[in-house]
Structure 1
Amino acid sequence: MPLMRIQLDSDKNTARRVLELHQAGKVHHESRDAAREEVWRHGRTPAAEPVFVGTTNGEPVRLIYDVEVYLDITR
């Protein structure tokens, strides 16, 4: 399955919290849901749950998710 990389705008505190949850083996549901919605906005259908990859170092901070998508199915 192909991957779609999604970047979500965030603030430093939220990004730190998402990273801490990820390191503890937990999920930040709000950002994961936002990543899934972004895939739908791009006209693709998610094939799996978004996977947190990390954050950017720039300003604004962005959360990075990879999402498996179906190739030939669009909304």
Structure 2
Amino acid sequence: MPLLRIQLDTDRTTARRVIDLHRAGRTHPESRAAAEAEVWRKGYTPAAVPVFIGTTNGDPVRLVYEVEIYTDTTP
């Protein structure tokens, strides 16, 4: 299945918390839900839960997720 990369604007404190949770083997439900909502907003149907990839180094900091999508439901 194809992957759609999603970047979510955030602040450095939240980004650090998401990274710490990821390293501990846990998830950040709010950002995961926001990534899934962004997939729907772009007109695609998620095939799996969003997977946290990391953060950007820019300003503003962005959380990066990859989400598997169904190809038969393109916008």
Question: Could you tell me the TM-score, scaled by structure 2's length?
Answer: 0.97
Q: CA deviation at 1:74?
A: 4.8
Provide the rounded CA distance (Å) in 1 between the counterparts of 2:58 and 2:74. Answer: 32
Two-structure CA RMSD over aligned residues (Å): 1.0
Q: Does residue 73 of the first structure (1) align with residue 70 of the second (2)?
A: no
- Name 2:42's counterpart in structure 1: 42
Percent identity between the aligned chains?
Answer: 68
> What TM-score, normalized by structure 1, do the two folds share?
0.97
Match of 1:12 in 2: 12
Q: Note the 1:19-38 alignment, pairs <5 A.
A: 19-38=19-38
Partners of 1:44 and 1:58 lie apart in 2 by 27
Runs (4+) of structure 1 exceeding 3 A deviation are none
Report the number of matched residues: 75
| Unaligned stretches of 5+ residues in structure 1 | none
More helix by share: 2
